[in-house]
Structure 1
Amino acid sequence: MKSGFSRWLLPLLIYTLLFGVFSWPLAAHFTTGFLGFAGHDANQYVWNAYNFRQALAAGKNPFFTDLLLYPQGSSLIMHTYTPIIGLLNSVLNQPILAVNVALLLSFVLSGVGAYRLCGRWVANPVLCLLAGVVFAFSPYKLAHLPEHYHLLLTAAVPFYAWAFLEAFQFETGRLGLRVRRWSQVAVCAALGFVTLLSDYYTLFGLLYFSLGYALYYWCGLGQINWRRPRPWLILVLTLVVCHIGSRLLGLSGVPDNAGFWWGGDLAGYLLPPTTSRWLSTAFTERLLQNSPIFNMPGSVENVMFLGYCLPLLLLLTLLLRRPKAGLAENQPSDWAPLPWLLLLFFMLTLPAVRVFGKEILRLPTGLVHYLPFLNNIRCPTRHVSYVALLLPLVLFARLDPWLRARLQPAGRWAFSGALLGLVLIEFQPAPAPLMDSTAIPRAYREVAQLPGDVLFPIPFGLLDGYQTKGVMNSDELLYQTIHHKKIPGAYISRIPQATFHQFDQDPVMHALLQRQTFPDSALVAVPTAAQVSAFLRRYQPAAFLVHPDYRNQPVHTLLRELLRGRGYQEREVDGYVLLHQPTPAPH
């Protein structure tokens, strides 16, 4: 391969182009829009970037906010916060642009990093380019693109893997490690910190990669002679003991934090996601919506698809006779643990082997879900991102010398190019949904012009990763970046149970929440005038904004009754009902 910047320029341009194609129509709305569905998770990443910069600019702790759950506020330590995007927004001061730039950089650098890592063992540049495509643009990541941005921030992973291999040396059968290059240890630490600021699932993947790589040498896995019966007996015994042990732990009530419930099914590797442009069919979509197969029918968390070409080709290469030369000439021997790591991450995605909804065997990796703290990584299918990195590395390191032993350069280029084309067809998604800030309802822009610091939207509520109370539409997070007012509800990944209990303790909050949730109930106690006054002093709402769906509904009627005689004006703005104090006339 060429040296210098030109070595990376062409892959960088190709991955940038692919991001534009696979994320279309984002490129046409790069500064005003972001990929996502109305009312879904993508809104929180724009809010994350907005809140992080707002806190820093005000000299406040960016990991605590009172923009949500006002006035007490909430910690964001366990929130899916993506501080790396917040830091970028601190420079750009445009949260939507910061989100899109972060995604572009992550996809492109993920591809370039995997391209470089593959080149460590593979001489064919087209296969290296394809390795970058598989890791950066796997169907798993493209399926999560309109929903879970934190899972897409994987740029540090292949660079960390390279630095780890450069930094440490292991000896077979001996615990411990030897540092070869301290500069690369520092790089590992820096990239680990970047990953910490990006996504904790990806961070734990780095830890599993590092530990799994070391275990290959410490346990002498490469020295096992599988032609003898003893290793197979030990393997079978291990599987049986772990299966029974896992079952007993579950029956005894040891919490697994729903790790097995969220666990993958082999069908997730076989069925293309509904976002697939060419492979998704009515038949595959019906299977993905089938509740006997999946605990969450239709959920993006079921997606583990990596195409058909590469997995089938890997199975084929396992049957082929390898050339005596083995790996490509002048390649490091540190490739040996990668097949074991591929198997490890594959097993992590399947804590229990399920085949179209039928549980067959609980794997040793499932025991992780019974370990406190570690079982917070409760969506095992998200480890498939590492499978997407390791699969082409394992495959192409075997395929490249086999092709060189049998084909002339022109034939190798033709085969590699055809394989690249097939994978691009397999991976291509349908156009993604787009949220555009220019389409935010006018009522929220009018709220931004009102004096005061607090908006009380109707409906309102709390929502985290486990439960909900009332109605909290995630679109309110996007709208807050426009009107800049605090709101009493919250959409945060982890909210303490005590907060849910306390949320509607105020008599006015409780009455509104009851009327909102049970509009036909006549048992709601109407708050007294003193209670309404106390509520207004506590929340100091600049305005109440009633969604069109709740206009003239019982909660709106109650709100109107509670505010009668308190100077609030009511007017309609494009179907919304805005209740606010008269705006003072300018002097």
Structure 2
Amino acid sequence: MRTLRGNLLRHLGVLLFYTALTLAFTYPLVLHLSDSVLGGTGDNLYFAWLTGWYEHAFFDGGGHPYFSEWMNYPEGWNLSTTDTALAAVFPGALFSHFFGPIAGYNLAMMLTFVLSGWAMYCWVRHLTHSEGAALLAGVVFAFLPFRMAKLLIGHLNLAATQWFPLFFMGLTGILRNEARGWWQPAVLAAVSLGLIGFTSMYYLYMVLLVALVFVLAYLLFGGFSVLTKAAFWKQVGIFIILAVPLLYLSVQYFFNLAATGTITSRDWEYASMYSASPTDFFLPSTDHFLFGRWVGSHFNRDLWPEATLYIGLVTLVLIGYAVWRRKSTGSGPLVWAALTVALAAFILALGTDLHWNAERVMIAVPGFLQPLLGRSETPLFLPTYWLFNHLPFFDRMRALARFGLFTNLFTTLLAGLGAASVLQRLKGRWQMGAAAALIALALFDFYPGPYTEQLTKIEPRPLDAWLAAQPGDGAVAMFPFEQVQDQINIFANLMHGKPFIGGLFNAYQPPQYLNIRPTLDQFPTPQAIDLLRELEITYIVVDTTAYGDYPLVERELEGNGLIRLTEQGQYRVYGFGK
């Protein structure tokens, strides 16, 4: 009982430690949880809307978590066309029930930092029994520049990295055929994999590929004798029995959409634009409090939302030490397997063809080959190009740079192993001091400084207040029609409570949107007005600042039978006469 109580207190202390660091790294967000977001109005507002929708679906009994009749009116919106991120957003829905959707989103995002640090702490401590090394690894993983970039761009789904250390902790336990609690690694791996599936289809697909590389590498460097152990196959059986139904539940909607042609293949040249450069792994983030401005002025960081993949100087040094001490620590197979996976993910993140400083590298084609190829220069293709064209569903992915997260994951693991080797050579206060110094250096390496200038206050516009005051549930359309995908207009659905013709369709477009867009892009033509009448739109909102000669636009609207209902700032709202 004392041991259990001690372990619970230890883990509580670790969670509080990462909570305090999260508050510092995201400051001053803690002072504005319910009224502001970090990083402008972008995908953060989509996930804030999704937080509110899940609150409605789970706590108000008002709908299906994967389908919203509020959006893409009147057809409704299958949310599986973008990441539903149920495992990441659900905690936010719980918070939203008490504090509102903005606070729910912010708290869910902050929770990913705490849990990511704690999960990596658990993995490294399990492997090394070193408290200091585990705390360090958790700090590195929780506050990776990759994760800070996801905070600023608002990718709550991709910030939810907490399941990866737990999954690979379980998978490592299966491969090591750990004697104590032989069933626990399989359960941990299966449940974590299911949670990854309920977080992001990107992440699920990627982790399955990376796990295959990890298993093969571990067997290659550690020997295949584990395959002869009955306990190993029992764990594999438990893993399969638990993982398969969880994966089915998480991917069934995705496969249904793929079968109907809603989720389609992408062109490799389109995916190539979202490839990482080798330098992305070695450059500090552009939001680093000391070096960020210099990095931004000397390197092309236009792709920072996807290609902020800095490994960290402290991490690189500790990796070298882990490799050097691998034999004396008995961690050779794991070290080599982790290095193999980190390198494989590095190559995958570089995309279909090589880029340098965010620019495609082109090489000259020898003269005798130019007539055959029909060009004088060609991209330098990488192994990912073959996978993109041959591996099922690989070509559904857009941002291949996201594979870089797994380089970050396994380099962090190696840093933890290296730190454990350093600390075990020290005793008492020297060991504690060295651990504290390593943690401080890692924090310095990643610290972005206060995000005061990145705060964006979210509050109802006069337009939203007016719509909310109108009786009934008449549907809303925005013009120019491209604005139906603006996240601020998506989030406004929670503020005014009216069905909305739009949604976040930048990944895959639902059939209705594809059908009506050509006509509504020509608004205010008679055909567009007739289509709005057919769709039973009640409130036609026009952004007057988006049209050069607005009086002419208004005359066309009135000539087509619309009447002005109100003017709210830059927006005028029209309806159909009775």
TM-score normalised by the chain length of structure 1: 0.76
Q: Which residue of 2 aligns with 1:382?
A: 402
| Contact 1:267–1:355 under 8 Å retained in 2 | yes
Of the three residues 79, 101, 119, the one matched with 2:125 is 119
| Contact 2:322–2:415 under 8 Å retained in 1 | yes
d(CA) in 1 for partners of 2:354, 2:222: 25
- Quote how far apart the aligned CAs of 1:495 are: 3.1
Q: Which residue of 2 aligns with 1:247?
A: none
Indicate the larger mover: 439-448 or 130-139: 439-448
Question: Counterparts of 1:529-548 in structure 2 under 5 Å?
Answer: 532=529, 534-535=530-531, 537-547=533-543
Q: Give % identity.
A: 22
Mark the CA change 1:271 to 1:450 in structure 2 (over 3 Å): closer, same or farther: same
Of the three residues 29, 46, 49, the one matched with 1:47 is 49
d(CA) in 2 for partners of 1:343, 1:26: 35
Paired AA for residue 105 in structure 1: L
Deviation string, structure 1 residues 149-191 (Cα, Å, up to 9, x no partner): 2110112221222222334557xxxxxx999834542332222
Paired AA for residue 278 in structure 2: L
d(CA) in 1 for partners of 2:13, 2:180: 34
d(CA) in 2 for partners of 1:41, 1:395: 32
The number of aligned residues is 508
| Contact 1:341–1:390 under 8 Å retained in 2 | yes
- Quote how far apart the aligned CAs of 1:137 are: 0.9
d(CA) in 2 for partners of 1:59, 1:441: 25
Of the three residues 453, 457, 472, the one matched with 1:436 is 457
Q: Which residue of 1 aligns with 2:567?
A: 572
Give the gaps of 5 or more residues in structure 2. 225-264, 364-379
Q: Which residue of 1 aligns with 2:277?
A: 265
Q: Which residue of 1 aligns with 2:312?
A: 307
2:12 pairs with 1:12 = no
Of the three residues 67, 70, 74, the one matched with 1:67 is 70
Indicate the larger mover: 536-545 or 562-571: 562-571
| Contact 1:43–1:474 under 8 Å retained in 2 | yes
Deviation string, structure 1 residues 169-219 (Cα, Å, up to 9, x no partner): 57xxxxxx999834542332222222212122332343234312321245x
| Contact 1:256–1:369 under 8 Å retained in 2 | yes
Q: Which residue of 2 aligns with 1:96?
A: 102
Paired AA for residue 380 in structure 1: L
Of the three residues 61, 71, 81, the one matched with 2:84 is 81
- Quote how far apart the aligned CAs of 1:280 are: 0.9
Q: Which residue of 1 aligns with 2:471?
A: 451
DSSP 3-state at the match of 1:568 = strand
| Contact 1:49–1:83 under 8 Å retained in 2 | no
d(CA) in 1 for partners of 2:278, 2:212: 25
- Quote how far apart the aligned CAs of 1:264 are: 1.1
Deviation string, structure 1 residues 111-164 (Cα, Å, up to 9, x no partner): 111111111233442221110011111011101212112110112221222222
2:420 pairs with 1:400 = yes
TM-score normalised by the chain length of structure 2: 0.77
Mark the CA change 1:562 to 1:366 in structure 2 (over 3 Å): closer, same or farther: closer
Indicate the structure (1 or 2) with the bigger Cα radius of gyration: 1
| Contact 1:548–1:576 under 8 Å retained in 2 | yes
2:495 pairs with 1:482 = yes
2:145 pairs with 1:139 = yes
Question: Counterparts of 1:541-556 in structure 2 under 5 Å?
Answer: 541-547=537-543, 549-550=545-546, 553-554=548-549
Paired AA for residue 538 in structure 1: E
Give the gaps of 5 or more residues in structure 1. 171-176, 225-252, 291-296, 463-469, 516-525
Mark the CA change 1:454 to 1:554 in structure 2 (over 3 Å): closer, same or farther: farther
- Quote how far apart the aligned CAs of 1:555 are: 5.7
Q: Which residue of 1 aligns with 2:367?
A: none
d(CA) in 1 for partners of 2:131, 2:468: 53
- Quote how far apart the aligned CAs of 1:341 are: 2.3
| Contact 2:69–2:75 under 8 Å retained in 1 | yes
- Quote how far apart the aligned CAs of 1:35 are: 2.2
Paired AA for residue 545 in structure 1: V
| Contact 2:119–2:166 under 8 Å retained in 1 | yes
DSSP 3-state at the match of 2:146 = helix
Mark the CA change 1:204 to 1:60 in structure 2 (over 3 Å): closer, same or farther: same
Question: Counterparts of 1:96-495 in structure 2 under 5 Å?
Answer: 96-147=102-153, 148-169=155-176, 181-218=182-219, 220-222=220-222, 256=268, 258-282=270-294, 284-289=295-300, 297-315=302-320, 318=323, 320=324, 322=325, 325-327=328-330, 337-351=337-351, 352=353, 354-356=355-357, 357=359, 358=361, 362-370=381-389, 371-405=391-425, 407-432=426-451, 433-437=454-458, 439-462=459-482, 472-495=485-508
DSSP 3-state at the match of 1:542 = strand
DSSP 3-state at the match of 1:378 = coil
Deviation string, structure 1 residues 10-44 (Cα, Å, up to 9, x no partner): 22111101111111221111123322312x22111
DSSP 3-state at the match of 2:392 = coil
- Quote how far apart the aligned CAs of 1:369 are: 2.0
d(CA) in 1 for partners of 2:500, 2:121: 46
DSSP 3-state at the match of 1:118 = helix
DSSP 3-state at the match of 1:77 = helix
d(CA) in 2 for partners of 1:411, 1:75: 57
